[in-house]
A and B are shown apart, each in its own frame.
Chain A
Amino acid sequence: MTKEYKTIVDIAGPLIFLEKTEPVGYGELVQINLPDGTTKRGQVLDTSADMVVVQVFEGTQGLNDESGVVFSGETIKLPVAKDLLGRILSGSGEPLDGGPRIIPEKRVDVNGASMNPYSRRPPEEFIQTGISTIDGTNTLVRGQKLPIFSGSGLPHNEIALQIARQAKVPGSEEEFAVVFAAMGITNEEAQSFMEDFEKTGALERATVFLNLADDPAVERIITPRMALTAAEYLAYEHDMHVLVILTDITNYCEALRQMGAAREEVPGRRGYPGYMYTDLASLYERAGVIKGNKGSVTQFSILTMPGDDITHPIPDLSGYITEGQIVVSRELHRKGIYPPINVLPSLSRLMNSGIGEGKTREDHKAVSDQLYAGYAEGRDLRGLVAIVGKESLSVRDQRILEFADLFEDRFVRQAKDEDRNIEDTLGIAWEILSELPEAQLTRIDNKFIDKYHPAHQNAE
């Protein structure tokens, strides 16, 4: 279908309304030819026998009723090939690195189909990130979607990069392929990602999609879908283990809200569209492992919580879909602790299936629970100390208070290039736990205490 329509009757924000077209498919890709010879792209949002609504990706500047519209007859597709690795593409899949266009093995619909839950294999392969607060207390597994909930000005990018550098499955030599999708981040931030990728040689096994802060917001809606389509292709057709980093989900949601407002939809909470949960799910749920297939898609998205508010709709809806969250804390950051991960609100839902005997170590779960319980109580006591002073605490409480400090200083804090293996992490955990009276270790079975507690080790 190459017919060009010049029947635009209305232009509002990123939307154009056309009359008198042949039947047009819902979700079809559209090319718009401007009078000055430039072209823009868009997608059909609403189609009826009388009127077609098109959302324009690059914004509607310069559009008028003289512009021509060509319907492609197909939905948005990404040309995929193994050559995607090592490439830098725009947010809508055009090469940015001066390299040739991708010679496609095939073209895949970017919306993807939903994975049949019956075909999924429960994720259970432990990924060692080398960061104690993740490996020890919020373990990541292959096929999981675990976002970082952060705030403006916090070192979430450094953490994401450290994970991308260090992530491995112990005992397997395969490296992760990285698919990186930037949505509305600044050029500066993008540069630092790219520099790090180049420096560490990670770019060779990475595909980068860049939609920067000054790129059209509407394009942001397809950028993560492009990235996930590439990831699924590499994982399920080339048996690769793919780590997808999407940053920043908050910018994506802003774009979604902008579109909703342009379409005059009934807004949900804080003006975000009512279907945002479903929309986010269509991104996050594209992580997983398939029975009988070697590859995997693991998602590590970054989300900056507006005003550090975890109840804001963006982190809130995300948290309901993702399999946990890693929460970066401003308080720890101010104390100069890197990585400033607050384990208390952090969670990995798939942790229990990725740890334990034969995976990490038999005492892992018990140790992690004990760390949580001790640290939570210690933090509560800090509030009390501020009022009554340390002296009026019982001896037991004073030791718990000290434990909380040790936990932050020894377990949480590590260097940006420090790659701790799981034995190191659990070793540090036992060292600090041994500062507590043994009778207080109620979460740990006695047989593990006998086997791993430093006091018992020395006795032998």
Chain B
Amino acid sequence: MNGEIYRVAGPVVTVAGIKPKMYDVVKVGHEGLMGEVIRIEGEKAIVQVYEDTSGIKPGEPVANTGMPLSVELGPGLLESIYDGIQRPLEVLQQKMGDFIERGVTANGLTREKKWEFTPTVSKGDSVKGGDIIGVVQETPNLEHKIMVPPRKSGTVEDIKSGKFVVDETVCVLSDGSELSLMQKWPVRDPRPVGKKLSPTKPLVTGQRILDGMFPVAKGGTAAIPGPFGSGKTVTQQQLAKWSDTDIVVYIGCGERGNEMADVLNEFPELEDPKTGRPLMERTVLIANTSNMPVAAREASVYTGITIAEYYRDMGYDVSLMADSTSRWAEAMREISSRLEEMPGEEGYPAYLSARLSEFYERAGAVHSLAGLDGSITVIGAVSPPGGDFSEPVTQNTLRIVKVFWALDAKLSQKRHFPAIDWLSSYSLYKDRLAGWFTENVGSDWNELRDNAMDILQEEAELQEIVQLVGSDALPEDQQLTLEIARMLREYFLQQNAFHPVDTFCPFDRQYKLLKSVSRFGEKAIDKMEHGVPINKIMEMESKDELAKVKYEEDFDAALETIMAKMDEEFTKLGGN
């Protein structure tokens, strides 16, 4: 149905005469700019347009596609770089050069490549929504499972095998529906699952403070709030690089163009520690930088999570990083204020909290329709204005997520990275994952970690006294506690994302490192009780050498040498 533009005010366009449904996608103006119906007022519909509207006039034509905003799901998603509405940036560059002009459409999945399809069902089999009808080797390490779209079912009338492009029919069902390698799905609807499960395995990230102190479960949710410059993006990128999931979806939502360029440059070079293949082969990137249209930014988060859900349906573990959810919330605010809606807290729309929780609820470990276990772990960065965590986006996010990694500007100023504050961060998965840790990391891991946390807590209290009287005024045992806490902070918690070895620390190294610091602590306390003065202990060389063991390629050998030296030095200290 065609209508015409009545009014243009920035990205919000009022249209008359199209009789749309809510969230229908429309093409606006002579150039056919893509937009979405976000309100219907009598004869008029209000459309948020995903592209710049300069020069667009009232009276220009508008066409309704009758379809909600959808993404194309099928082989070819991996290694892609999309904008917020799933247009591949590489195709956009070919079509219009280095700057993004408007009115260009591009398919999310290429129609040029032929994929080798191997069916796993035969004629006469009965299938239902979510069932797997065949597989395509999408990358050397990932078998892409072709599924019946969720709301379809029937008996297989015809099934083909061979090479196909994504929109060719490979299977016909008894009700006449034709299935291809690709399906479309409206981004604002969660894809149905069989059953939601409670998460039991940790997401292993190779980041000591995250894995060791505040672990997130596969299928869980985590938030990283922090002021600018505290390391949100570096942390998110570290997670995207080193998380032990099959698929990574990275959404650059309203962030910097140069950062995205950096990711695009780096990921094809880096190796997946699990498979040894380029990281890019398991990654889908969505880049809607801060200067790209705000309505597309609002959509980018949904585009990302829908792609993640699609891979979860195949039984894969997916991690999704959204950097930053605050920019997403601001996009909502911007559009809401153009609609002259009654604002809630700090100008954000009243539905902010509902939208955030709907989004995080799409995470989770599930039993898919096909009966496979998969998960989506969502990690959202939050950029609170002025670093003030009491603002609405941070607060509403914290009400939903189970893991909170609080970034702290003071730590980053001291170049303590990752600048995650160990005192205010928390993980609600600790207890649920305790069994996994005992079994897979070390029988005493949970205890080691809790002890370390206790020491750090104690340090914080002692520091208050030190601020008043200086450290020399403390009794010797407390001075030793301070020293052990310093070692925990500098040797264990600090991790250099840019160091080739230290950037990824596997669990067994984390365990050995923590164990070594703890062993030093035990022996030092023992010696002190036997009359050895603190300054003798402080002068131990092996203690300082332990600082750099995390940078060693041959970690085990280096650690062994140092620990042997430490034993020797302790013996030399004597005592009664």
Contact = CB atoms under 8 A, between A and B. Distances in A.
Does A associate with B in a complex?
yes
| Most A CB within 10 A of own CB, among B290, B346, B468 | B290
Interface residues of B, number: 80
Contacts of B294: 275, 278
A115 B474 CA distance: 58
B339 to A, nearest CB: 10
A186 B480 CA distance: 58
Given A118-B264, A274-B337, A323-B256, A48 B14 contact: yes
Interface in B343-374: 343, 346-347
Given A46-B9, A290-B98, A319-B229, A118 B89 contact: yes
A325 B182 CA distance: 46
A28 B287 contact: no
B258 A144 contact: yes
Q: Can you list the 3 inter-chain pairs with the closest CB atoms, starting with the nearest?
A: A311-B386, A48-B7, A281-B290
B90 interface: yes
Residues of A contacting B: mostly: mixed
Interface in A137-154: 143-144
Given A288-B257, A383-B467, A116 B472 contact: no
A387 B89 CA distance: 59
B390 interface: no
A397 B548 CA distance: 22
Interface of B: 6-10, 14, 52-60, 81, 89-90, 92-93, 97-101, 227-229, 252, 254, 256-262, 264-265, 287, 289-292, 294, 327, 330-331, 333-334, 337, 340, 343, 346-347, 383, 385-388, 409, 412-415, 466-473, 490, 498, 541, 544, 547-548, 551
Contacts of B413: 344-345, 372, 376
6 contacts: A26-B56, A117-B81, A117-B252, A278-B331, A310-B386, A345-B409
Given A48-B7, A384-B467, A117 B56 contact: no
Given A116-B89, A277-B290, A46 B7 contact: yes
Contact of A49 (B6, B97, B331): B6
Contacts of A377: 414
A321 B256 contact: yes
Contacts of B340: 266
Contact of B383 (A267, A320, A443): A320
A347 B229 contact: yes
Interface residues of A, number: 87
Contacts of A25: 8, 54-57
A184 interface: no
B100 A116 contact: yes
Given A48-B7, A266-B347, A114 B100 contact: yes
Given A114-B289, A117-B260, 16 more contacts: A23-B59, A27-B54, A48-B6, A49-B7, A113-B52, A116-B92, A119-B97, A121-B261, A281-B291, A353-B262, A369-B415, A384-B466, A388-B470, A397-B471, A442-B544, A442-B547
Interface string A407-449: 0000000000000000000000000000000010011011000
A250 to B, nearest CB: 16
A429 B290 CA distance: 37
Contacts of B252: 117
